[in-house]
Amino acid sequence: MTTYRAEFFTSADYAVRNFEAETPEQALQLARQFFEDDLIELDFGEWTGLTFDQVRNDERWIPWRSCRSIAAIPGGESWRQVQDRAVAALFDLRRRHPAGAVALVTHGDVIRAALLFGLGMPLDLYNRIEVGTGSISTIRIEADQIRIPALNERPR
């Protein structure tokens, strides 16, 4: 069985230091002390609380779906704002934990935005990256490069 270890674990909800767990669920149960603001889900603005069908019927959905590099959620965030805050969190956590692994847990779109940055891909190609529920992707930030050694892996 795989064991998950990290010097620091943080999520959109809480964080804990020096954890070891056999499953992501166990790791999440260990983490109940801190909060990482920049990893929260998108601000859905006027679409908050609406069903997907209701959002899809809004004419402003089309530019959001097809051209995220320039579109923004009405009254909410742009995709670039989401990516900027997620990447800022990655670099801040690397600065605070330069020698250790940091496990981050957040929502699919936030993960996708960070992966697009790490892969050097345009924001409009967001739908080419699958981020499965409970999957694990690894972004390695080094002094001279960013690498993605694992993408959308499933725990066994």
pLDDT tens-digit map of 5-61: 555 555 554 444 445 556 666 655 555 444 577 888 889 999 999 999 999 999 999
Domain boundaries of the chain, sorted by first residue: 4-42+81-153, 44-76
Q: Are 11 and 40 in contact (CB under 8 A)?
A: no
Q: What percent of the chain has pLDDT over 70?
A: 76
Backbone dihedral angles phi then psi of residue 76, each to the nearest 5 degrees: -125, -145
Q: What is the rounded average pLDDT of the residues 66-91?
A: 93
**Which pTM was predicted?**
0.78
pLDDT for the residue numbered 99? 78
Under a CB-based contact definition with an 8 Å cutoff, are residues 99 and 3 in contact? no
**What CATH architecture is 4-42+81-153?**
3-Layer(aba) Sandwich (3.40)
The stretch 83-92 carries a mean pLDDT of: 92
